Amino acid sequence: MSELTRLDAADIAAKVAAKEVSAVEVTQAHLDRIAAVDHAVHAFLHVDTDRALAAAKAVDDDVAAGRPAASPLAGVPLALKDVLTMQGAPTTCGSKVLEHWQPPYDATVTQRLRAAGVVILGKTNMDEFAMGSSTENSAFGPTRNPWDLDRIPGGSGGGSSAALAAFEAPLAIGTDTGGSIRQPGAVTGTVGVKPTYGTVSRFGLVAFSSSLDQAGPCARTVLDAALLHEVIAGHDPLDSTSIDAPVPPVVAAAREGATGDLKGVKVGVVTEFAGDGYEHGVAEAFAAAVEQLRALGAEIVEVSCPSFDLALPAYYLIAPSEASSNLARFDAMRYGLRVGDDGGHSAEEVMSLTRAAGFGAEVKRRIMLGTYALSAGYYDAYYGSAQKVRTLIMRDFDAAFAQVDVLVSPTTPTTAFKIGERTADPMAMYRADLCTIPSNLAGNAALSVPCGLADGLPVGMQIMSPALQDQRGYRVAAAYELARNAAQGGPLINRVPELEVAH
Amino acid sequence: MTTAELMDYTEVVTRFDPVLGLEVHVELSTATKMFCGCANQFGGEPNTHVCPTCLGLPGSLPVLNALAVESAIRIGLALNCEIAPWCRFARKNYFYPDMPKNFQTSQYDEPIAFNGYLDVTLDDGEVVRVQIERAHMEEDTGKSLHVGGATGRIHGAEHSLLDYNRAGVPLIEIVTKTIEGTGERAPEVARAYVSTLRDLLKALDVSDVRMDQGSLRCDANVSLMERGAAEFGTRTETKNVNSLRSVERAVRYEMTRQAAILAGGGSILQETRHFEEASGTTRAGRRKETSEDYRYFPEPDLVPIAPSAEWVQELRGTLPELPAERRKRVQAEWSLTDLELRDLVNAGAIDLVAATADAGAPPAEARSWWMSYLSQQANTRGVELGALPITPGQVARVIALVADGSLTNKLARDVVDGVLNGEGEPDHVVETRGLKVVSDDSALYAAVDEALAANPDVATKIRDGKHAAAGAIVGAVMKTTKGQADAKRVRELILERCGA
């Protein structure tokens, strides 16, 4: 494996800017790595070789001409979750229904990445329409966890996180509706951030649940995630829910955290996220991480957020309700899969046949759940009640953040489970997002940072910050990352097993 | 298809009380669509005014057109509605190929305007107050063209073509409360309501209000209740009502159809019906097996709309003089009787007369031109007065030419004919047709002398002091000058020549 693929994004950008290495060389090294290991990992649905090399070449031309770098990440390769549109390449959302669809426009996130000189290597695998916690719901086959190829890489953004852990890319973009960035980050030993809702544009993000979806950065270090965060965040007039406010200073916070001092920071441990259902190894690694924070000078207190217990059921009413409406457009009339258009079927029948053939079981389950929850006579009891729970959860956060600067918990109750282990038990699958969902419902910022291994598998610590205070989590995470690396003999990610390389 | 049995209208209104509810959809004439930057234009090659948002492509998002909100508020204010200080859009979910997202972004239980009224004046001057339940914003759908098959409907068609140029065009839906107690005048009230609303929207300059192009569409809900009954009957909703006349016909037809069914012991199906312009009848739409559940919920891709009290006040200040007020003012200023005003209103002439007066003509002259000669021309041509190819400015010019003696009234009508024929501006028509009054006295003297010589008896009478006899000579002179002489001047010259 080329050493270039082991580098952090910040290092790559610095070397490219200093002409120590060309962006084309870096990109080629990652493309080679993908060619060598992705047969085993299956992180990518589409590798965009030619355009990636062309983008890298453009960065090299800038450097050669002495033009200032487009961003602190110019020339760094990135893996884009296949739920964001990118002109010139397919966007499938992991679904048969969009198998060959080529969007005629770039998502705002994609456009900002391009403008920053970030090199997009391709599109990553995901649970169909981002519905799932294992990437097993992809219509194009599961992604495997580089730590153990028999295990899931988390979901829905398993492709993005696995690409990082397999050194196929130093950066990735994920989207997080109930934990789809953070939980894959936790189980692959990588960093995953869900920014404050409304701070990263959703324009071009194929909607699963509009009021919850948020794109965010995935990386192997906290600083890299912060650098990527600042590239993609910021007000976008094309997204009405985009907040017109300055991007929180997350890079400065990550650098401040890296001084290793957390004196004066109050950290609240969420008491609800412990006990039955939390694997012993996970609880242990998390407890050790909390002690590490204390050692860095943080004040640790326990905080109760009683409504968080209602988050999971509320989420499984709100998200499917919105999804049932968002996914209605996949009807074969304008784009995507079309089944039964043989002259013998009406338009309604073609719609129905296409949807029956094009959607997987989990997507259908959620469309049905959502359709039911919004139905006349049930709306108040289901969707209406869930919205009330949402308000309660926001109040719990408000009360907690009145006492502490950040809240922490395990990111997910278990380490990566085996492929196939939970496919027959949706409730067990849904519980993977138990700790991550509250921040989606409330819209505040949250991230996952690796906090150790349990039986050789990565464990993540979740750090939650108030809305528009994303920098708090970065500061704590960066301080913790530094201390953990020192205490545990270097970055955890270096302990990921070598993958078998195809020749 | 069997022809429906109908009850004689007089019997219908003796036995039943009609109850109406009218839903009017107005397409706003904003430059761009409701949620994207595409041009809001009628016509155009299919699918040329489209983008990811109005095509509902995956990942696209709506951005609300601020001008559409402004128009909605102004309409609400003009309809005497309350304006919601906070409201939202909702999604109305149902599948149909001409709806790109398979949900319509609309307003549901939080309309921007509600609880208003509109005073409607009927032909005989009676004023009916129609209560407005709400006016809300929504987006239009695309259009389907069903090719093949006998009916032009989706069923039986060989294939369908879809045009999304209209998808996302801003609409305001204005819904009345139930209109009761109008009895035999229900069809007339329905027409007058839509007509008044159309004039109001025109005055607000928010829409083209072209019923023929679909920028104003009316759905008529009609039900009957036995006289003295306590509960409303079952209603039908008639769509495809594309002219003011059709509104009246559709309501009347439904009343006679429903009455015949009820009188025969049958019951009315709650259904959507379509008005057939040619036959003046309604036919049942496709029957739905299940009642539609639109699964409304607040649109998560848009933020709530919270018009400040200051903004609403500011918009109130932008309301133009509304048609009803204008009529009152015009009646006073022009000293019109109620009947004269009503004729003016019914002829659709108020704006034309006012514009002609604004262009410098005395209001009485302007009214006379539009209400008599031009009305006749419009009738002959079978068009509305406003559709005549002559502008108020041109009419004012003709009136001015008469006033300064350049034209006689007869010549003026010739000039107007020329303008209506597309021969150009009045002055140009005068020139090319050679219609100027003969004001050269020497030419007139010759004609007068000739006429006196040809009618010696009359000449003698005039010389004897019977001035009234001069009329015959005036007529003769006018004949020889082909009407281009000023009759008054001719008379003066005749008397002069006769020494009278």
8 Å CB contact between B350 and B368: no
Q: Which two tokens stand for residue B51?
A: 């983008």
Chain A, chain B: beta-carbon pairs less than 8 Å apart: 103
Contact yes or no for A240 and B302 at CB 8 A:
yes
| A136: helix, strand or coil | coil
Question: What pLDDT band is residue A503 in, cutting at 50, 70 and 90?
Answer: low
Is residue A499 pLDDT above 50, yes or no?
yes
Catalytic option among A156, A201, A242, A409: A156
pTM: 0.88
Q: Which residues 436-495 on chain B approach chain A with CB closer than 8 angstroms?
A: none
What average pLDDT is seen over chain B?
Answer: 91
The confidence score (pLDDT) of residue B460 equals: 86
Contact yes or no for A103 and B103 at CB 8 A:
no
| B281: helix, strand or coil | strand
8 Å CB contact between A59 and A23: yes
B399-420 per-position pLDDT tens digit: 999 988 888 888 899 999 999 9
Mean pLDDT of B130-150: 91
A431-452 per-position pLDDT tens digit: 999 999 999 999 999 999 999 9
Mean pLDDT of A239-251: 98
Mean pLDDT of B68-82: 98
Can you list the domains of chain B with their CATH numbers? 9-311 (no CATH), 335-433 (no CATH), 441-497 (1.10.10)
- Output the CA–CA distances (angstroms, integers) from residue A360 to A364, A422, B103, B198, in the order listed: 6, 16, 22, 50
Please state the ipTM of this predicted complex: 0.96
Q: How would you class B180 by CB atoms within 10 Å of its CB: exposed for 0-12, middle for 13-18, buried for 19 or more?
A: middle
Nearest to B225 by CA among B18, B5, B9: B18
The confidence score (pLDDT) of residue B500 equals: 67
Is residue B1 pLDDT above 50, yes or no?
no
B371-395 per-position pLDDT tens digit: 999 999 998 988 888 889 999 999 9
Q: Which two tokens stand for residue B173?
A: 């839906």
CB atoms under 10 Å from CB of B138, counted, come to 20
Mean pLDDT of A4-27: 98
For a pLDDT cut of 70, what percent of chain B falls above it?
A: 96
Residue A266 appears among annotated catalytic residues: no
What pairing do the DSSP bridges indicate for beta strands A266-270 and A406-410? parallel
The confidence score (pLDDT) of residue B15 equals: 96
Is residue B175 pLDDT above 50, yes or no?
yes
- Output the CA–CA distances (angstroms, integers) from residue A36 to A26, B219, B365, in the order listed: 15, 65, 92
Is residue B61 pLDDT above 70, yes or no?
yes
Is residue A181 pLDDT above 50, yes or no?
yes
A98-132 per-position pLDDT tens digit: 999 999 999 999 999 999 999 999 999 999 999 99
Nearest to A374 among B154, B155, B295 (CB): B295
User: How far is B443 from B447, CA to CA, in rounded Å?
Assistant: 7
B332-349 per-position pLDDT tens digit: 988 888 888 888 888 888
Residue to test with chain A: of B38, B57, B162, most A Cβ within 10 A: B57
Measured between CA atoms, the residue of chain B closest to residue A328 is B102
Q: Which secondary-structure segment (H or E) carries A451?
A: strand A445-454
Q: Which of A270-284, B151-165, B246-260 has the lowest mean pLDDT?
A: B151-165
Ranges of beta strands (E only) in B376-454 are: none
Contact yes or no for B293 and A211 at CB 8 A:
no
Residue A156 appears among annotated catalytic residues: yes
Amino acid at B196: T
Is residue B92 pLDDT above 50, yes or no?
yes
The confidence score (pLDDT) of residue B158 equals: 77
Alpha helices in B291-383 (DSSP H): 309-316, 323-333, 338-346, 350-358, 363-368, 374-381
**In the CATH scheme, what is the code of domain A3-309+390-495?**
3.90.1300.10
Q: Which of A240-244, A393-397, A462-466, B271-275 has the lowest mean pLDDT?
A: B271-275
8 Å CB contact between A389 and A311: yes
For a pLDDT cut of 90, what percent of chain B falls above it?
A: 64
Nearest to B303 among A240, A346, A371 (CB): A240
The confidence score (pLDDT) of residue B458 equals: 86
8 Å CB contact between B282 and B239: no
Amino acid at A323: A
The confidence score (pLDDT) of residue B73 equals: 98
Mean pLDDT of A353-374: 97
Peptide bond into A210 cis (omega under 30): no
Is residue B248 pLDDT above 80, yes or no?
yes
DSSP code at position A460: E
The confidence score (pLDDT) of residue A171 equals: 98
8 Å CB contact between B40 and B190: no
Question: What pLDDT band is residue B497 in, cutting at 50, 70 and 90?
Answer: confident
Contact yes or no for A203 and B297 at CB 8 A:
no
| A272: helix, strand or coil | coil
The confidence score (pLDDT) of residue B483 equals: 77
The confidence score (pLDDT) of residue A1 equals: 66
The domain ranges of chain A are 3-309+390-495
Mean pLDDT of B432-454: 81
Strand partners, B19: B223
Contact yes or no for A206 and B300 at CB 8 A:
no
For a pLDDT cut of 90, what percent of chain A falls above it?
A: 95
A183-215 per-position pLDDT tens digit: 999 999 999 999 999 999 999 999 999 999 999
Is residue B223 pLDDT above 90, yes or no?
yes
Mean pLDDT of A11-26: 98
Mean pLDDT of A298-315: 97
8 Å CB contact between B437 and B477: no
Q: Is B403 in the A-facing interface, judged by CB distances under 8 Å?
A: no
The confidence score (pLDDT) of residue A373 equals: 95
Mean pLDDT of B414-436: 89
Residues of chain B contacting residue A104, judged by C-beta atoms under 8 Å apart: 52, 57
8 Å CB contact between B451 and B473: yes
The confidence score (pLDDT) of residue B153 equals: 63
